[in-house]
Amino acid sequence: MVAISYCLYDYLISPSYELTKLKFASIGDTIKFGEYKENRGEWTVIEKENDKALILYNGSDIQMPYNEDYEEVSWDDCTLKEWLNLEYYENSFQEIEKTHIMNTDNGKVFLLTVEEAETYFDQNSQRILCKDINTLDSDNNLQWWLLSLENDRCSSPIVNREGEVDSIGSRVNYESNYVRPAMWIEISE
């Protein structure tokens, strides 16, 4: 009986279980996917299309600049895209998870665009990222980066502490903004 309990527990926390759960998830549901800083990543399903789902990271543990240097930079050339698609991707996901992460024009791991942030969240309150979900205080709210589709800008759009999309954003080398990775996950198998 104990062996069966451990097997069931191992399955319930496994990537295979979460991928199966994602197949039947609805928009707004959360799943566990990957692991960052020894914490199982919690993601929200924000879109589903046929055999794929778009998920957005809920954590407030990734804080870094869009680009290390203050310079005109595109998404394709910024240091955040490089970090997300190399170090973060390689170190945060198991091989079975990686086989389901789809490659897009913006990379396997990317940020939402201004248009996506406005489309997938009807209200500002839905975009707010909190450091501590148990604290209802605006000082607890965090700004997070959005992907700039404009080339060669010294700033990138953000979602501010009030949940408003700010298309002018922050200087690309601003270190206090947070990162909410997004990924399309293949769920047809």
Tokens read off for 77: 């050339």
* pLDDT (0 to 100) of residue 135: 57
Q: What SS3 state is found at 82?
A: helix
Map tokens 């690309």 to a residue: 172
Q: From the first residue on, what is the mean pLDDT of each consecutive set of 10 residues in the chain (189 residues)? A: 41 67 91 83 93 94 96 95 97 94 97 96 92 64 92 90 94 96 90
Instruction: Name which of 27, 33, 29 is nearest 13 in CA terms.
Output: 33
SS3 content of the chain, % helix, strand, coil (to 5): 30, 30, 40
Report the alpha-carbon distance of residue 147 to residue 156 in Å, rounded: 7
Which phi and psi (to 5°) does residue 90 adopt?
-65, -40
Eight-state DSSP code of residue 60: S
User: Which sequence spans correspond to the domains of the chain?
Assistant: 2-186
Element of type H or E holding 15:
helix 15-24
* pLDDT (0 to 100) of residue 137: 59
* pLDDT (0 to 100) of residue 41: 84
* pLDDT (0 to 100) of residue 4: 43
Long-range pairs, 33-38, Cβ under 8 A, ≥24: 33/93, 33/97, 33/185, 34/92, 34/93, 34/94, 34/97, 35/92, 35/93, 36/61, 36/62, 36/88, 36/91, 36/92, 37/61
